[in-house]
Amino acid sequence: MDEANLKAVLQSEGIDLPESFFVKLPVYARLLAEWNEKMNLTAITESGAVYEKHFLDCLLLLKNRDLNNKALCDLGSGAGFPGMLLALAVPSAKVTLVDATKKKFIFLEEVKKTLQIPNVEFHIGRAEDMKEFREYFDILTCRGFAALNIFLEVAAPLTKRGGTILAMKGAKAEEELDQAQKAIRKLNLKFNGADRFVLPECQETRIELSFKKTGPTDKKYPRPWKDILERPL
Ligand code: SAH
């Protein structure tokens, strides 16, 4: 997928982004390719695949959704997906990228500086330890972070009441959703729906699962990571 194709798909999905945004994308792609030789950032390296499986995939979160002035947190952001793309696309959003791997932030700092993305902040650490951010964010996102029930236990405490949790998943999303029913109940969440999209060139299915936080999260969540993994909700 090249830039023209990306623009066309975004437009057909009703996602309008300014030219200044598109000018920065090739720079992101170049930095990703350069840094990927020094550290393990992504298995997707070919430029067309980066545009489709990283850029387009992340930007689809903007479909029918207004992120203006929202506080958004991306858990396990890795090389900045989807959080950095969303910060770049919506300058009025305040975006926090969280990752436990410190060295990823050397790359992310470089992207922030080179592309001039002032509305992104970094939190180096474990998502389940972010006590100071309890009920802080309007929107929580993740892609490739953890199984759905695990992500929800970590995400729900960080989300404001009435806020939204978005999980970017592949074709197995429905299975994960089945396994997360207990977590959804215990965490006072409501399933808002699934949005399915087939990436046009590779034909891979992407499913975005959306949840609303309808009530408070019990203080006992999130439990320590070991317990979350050993006895998932
Ligand atoms: N979102 C990116 C990266 C997915 S890989 C993408 O889609 O390309 C998962 C990332 O989550 C890794 O970078 C890993 O360091 C991070 N991670 C896993 N468990 C974590 C935790 N408990 N707290 C913070 N980061 C975590």
pLDDT at 45: 85
In the reported structure, the alpha carbon of residue 231 is separated from the centroid of ligand 1 by a whole-number distance in angstroms of 20
Q: What are the backbone angles phi and psi of residue 211, rounded to the nearest 5°?
A: -135, 150
Give ligand 1 pocket residues (Cβ under 6 A): 76-79, 81, 98-101, 104, 126-128, 143-145, 225
Determine contact, residues 212/162, Cβ cutoff 8 Å. Answer: yes
Q: Which residues contact 132 (CB under 8 A, 6 or more apart)?
A: none
Gap from CA of 78 to ligand 1 centroid (Å):
5
CA distance 131 to 221: 11
Name which residue sits closest to atom 3 of ligand 1, judged by CA: 78
Backbone angle region of 29, left / alpha / beta, with phi > 0 → left and psi within -120 to 50 → alpha? alpha
The per-residue pLDDT for 123 is: 98
Distance 19 CA to ligand 1 centre (A): 30
Atom of ligand 1 nearest to the CA of 125: 24
0.95 surpassed by pTM: yes
Going by alpha carbons, the residue nearest to atom 8 of ligand 1 is 81
Q: Which of 95, 99, 131 is the pocket-test mutation for ligand 1 (most atoms within 8 Å of CB)?
A: 99
**Residue 141: strand pairing partners:** 74, 166
Residue identifier of the C-alpha nearest atom 16 of ligand 1: 76
- Return per-residue pLDDT of the chain as tens, 233 residues: 999 999 999 999 999 999 999 999 999 999 999 999 999 999 998 899 999 999 999 999 999 999 999 999 999 999 999 999 999 999 999 999 999 999 999 999 999 999 999 999 999 999 999 999 999 999 999 999 999 999 999 999 999 999 999 999 999 999 999 999 999 999 999 999 999 999 999 999 999 999 999 999 999 999 999 999 999 99
Sheet holding 189-198, edge to edge: 120-124, 94-99, 71-75, 137-143, 159-169, 205-213, 189-198
Rg for the chain, CA atoms, rounded: 17
Phi/psi of residue 159, nearest 5 degrees: -90, 140
Find the 136 Cα to ligand 1 centroid distance in Å.
20
CA-wise closest residue to 72 among 161, 152, 165, 144: 165
